[in-house]
């Protein structure tokens, strides 16, 4: 098992706690609506590496500090900072996003408590969970296409199985947002609760799961994964290769500029 690169006591962007067999991983950048920068990605990966190896954790809840679950990548910091994202050399071997695979590969059942906006990579993170429970304030959007990009592994590997290929295509092709009620209607989330009831209901379910034998839970999770079409590592590597290719396009640069300038984008297919 891959060892976490960051010690729990060094976390700055993620809160990690274990109580009564349930680990809670909370994205904690509320001032940025829990948008992910490089540090946050690394800490999220490390948190799930820790929970995978933690014998006291039998179920995991992933959530965000209010008011959002996760608003995706911190576009301003990631794309316009001192070290903006850039495609690697053509010879680079592409691998699935480490944070994504740390969640997907976690042998413990994972529940996403979606307390607000889950857009871009935030929706991806919700998809990596085994079960999703949403606050009535939740909003979901796979808005990568609006930045001239494609989704990560979740949109390809998990979304079609949850909502059907045609609905997945609609969500991916349009980048449109849906509210919690629509997410429940199409099968994206299992339950919608009043915002104040989200964590109590999620933790109650997590406790019921954690009370069961951990070896059986791990085997059940692996069995469910084996019945899903495709290998997430292979799908994730393909997605990352294409994301890096699209980073170099003018359409991507226009998508980022228009977002930062708060205007409608004009795409030209180059």
Going by pLDDT thresholds of 50, 70 and 90, the confidence category of residue 122 is very high
Retrieve residue 234's tokens. Answer: 């292979």
Instruction: Using the structure block, give the residue that is written with the tokens 């996760």.
Output: 70
- Quick one: average pLDDT of 98-108? 97
Domain extent listing, the chain: 8-197+214-261
Looking at residue 231, what is its pLDDT? 83
Which pairs from 214-222 meet CB under 8 Å and 24+ separation? 214/58, 214/108, 217/58, 217/59, 217/108, 217/109, 218/107, 218/108, 221/107, 221/108, 221/109, 221/130, 222/107
- Quick one: average pLDDT of 100-105? 96
Architecture of domain 8-197+214-261: Alpha-Beta Complex (3.90)
Sign of the Cα torsion 169, 172, 176, 180 reads positive
Summarised one tens digit per residue, pLDDT across range 4-60 is 778 888 899 999 999 999 999 999 999 999 999 999 999 999 999 999 999 999 999
What does the alpha-carbon distance between residue 97 and residue 177 come to, in Å, rounded to a whole number?
Answer: 24
- Quick one: average pLDDT of 201-227? 95
Summarised one tens digit per residue, pLDDT across range 133-183 is 999 999 999 999 999 999 999 999 999 999 999 999 999 999 999 999 999
Summarised one tens digit per residue, pLDDT across range 223-263 is 998 887 678 888 899 888 999 899 889 999 898 898 888 89
* Residue 216 pLDDT > 90: yes
Looking at residue 126, what is its pLDDT? 98
Of residues 102 and 253, more confidence is placed in 102
CA proximity to 266, closest of 257, 254, 253:
254
Looking at residue 230, what is its pLDDT? 72
* 128, 109 Cβ separation under 8 angstroms: no
Instruction: Tell me the three state secondary structure of residue 24.
Output: strand
* Residue 84 pLDDT > 90: no
What does the alpha-carbon distance between residue 136 and residue 195 come to, in Å, rounded to a whole number?
Answer: 6
What does the alpha-carbon distance between residue 26 and residue 65 come to, in Å, rounded to a whole number?
Answer: 6
């Amino acid at each position: 098992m891959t060892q976490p690169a960051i010690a729990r006591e060094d976390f700055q962007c993620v809160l990690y706690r274990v109580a009564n067999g349930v680990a809670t991983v909370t994205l904690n950048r509320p001032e940025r609506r829990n948008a992910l920068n490089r540090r946050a990605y690394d800490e999220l990966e490390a948190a799930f590496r820790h929970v995978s190896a933690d014998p006291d954790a039998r179920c995991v809840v992933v959530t965000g500090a209010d008011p959002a679950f996760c608003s995706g990548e911190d576009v301003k910091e990631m794309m316009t900072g001192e070290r903006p994202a850039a495609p690697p050399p053509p010879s680079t071997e592409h691998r699935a996003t480490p944070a994504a695979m740390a969640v997907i590969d976690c042998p413990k059942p994972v529940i996403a408590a979606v307390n607000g906006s889950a857009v871009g990579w935030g929706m991806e993170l919700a998809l990596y969970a085994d079960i999703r429970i949403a606050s009535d304030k939740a909003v979901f959007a796979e808005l990568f296409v609006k930045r001239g990009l494609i989704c990560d592994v979740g949109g390809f590997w998990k979304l079609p199985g949850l909502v059907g290929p045609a609905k997945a295509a609609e969500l991916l092709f349009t980048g449109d947002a849906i509210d919690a009620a629509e997410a429940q209607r199409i099968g994206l989330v299992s339950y919608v609760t009043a915002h104040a009831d989200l964590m109590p209901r999620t933790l109650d379910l997590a406790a019921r799961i954690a009370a069961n034998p951990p070896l059986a839970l791990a085997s059940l999770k692996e069995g469910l994964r084996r019945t899903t079409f495709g290998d997430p590592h292979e799908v994730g590597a393909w997605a990352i290769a294409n994301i890096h290719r699209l980073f170099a396009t003018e359409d991507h640069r226009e998508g980022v500029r228009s977002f930062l300038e708060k205007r409608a984008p004009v795409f030209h297919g180059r």
